[in-house]
Amino acid sequence: MRKAFLKKAQGTLTTWKDQVLKQLNAEVKEGREAALDEGMDTYDLASEERSREINLILSDRDREKLLAIEEALDRIRNGSYGMCDMCEEEIATERLEALPFTRLCVSCQSDLEKEAKQHRRGDEDRGQRRTSLVDLDDDNL
């Protein structure tokens, strides 16, 4: 892996991580304020306690995302970034650019997805409904 590429991936991942954490902090703060309404500063909490609290609030999906980001950052640090977990081939850079925390190459990922589909039917509902402009019947006047 090229250094410049790794640096860029690291930047992207760090930004994402910050965003997730910022969002969570806001949620934690809100929860606190609702719970004990004492003007206590959430940001003063020891980070260990805060991360424990964050863990309670995190949905599985958020936790997975955060974990994936952390792991990707670890892999950048220890030099194993960009290798497929399953076949140990290098993951295409375009794929890494689109999905910086992916651990699988395209073919392993699609194998996995095929398998997952056999287990449960995907019921994705991505239908976007566009409200069409109301047709004007200009028969007035």
Residues that bind Zn ion (CB under 5 A): 84, 86-87, 105, 108
- Closest CB to Zn ion among 28 and 100? 100
- Closest CB to Zn ion among 26 and 87? 87
Residue 81 burial by CB count (10 A; 0-12/13-18/19+): exposed, middle or buried?
buried
Least distance CB 38 / Zn ion (angstroms):
52
The answer for residues whose C-beta is within 8 angstroms of residue 25's C-beta and 6 or more apart is: 42, 43, 50, 54
- Closest CB to Zn ion among 30 and 89? 89
The answer for residues whose C-beta is within 8 angstroms of residue 30's C-beta and 6 or more apart is: none
- Closest CB to Zn ion among 54 and 84? 84
Query: Exposure pattern of 94-115 as b/e (b: 16+ CB <10 Å)?
Result: ebbeeebbbbbbeebbeeeeee
Least distance CB 109 / Zn ion (angstroms):
8
Least distance CB 90 / Zn ion (angstroms):
9
Least distance CB 34 / Zn ion (angstroms):
46
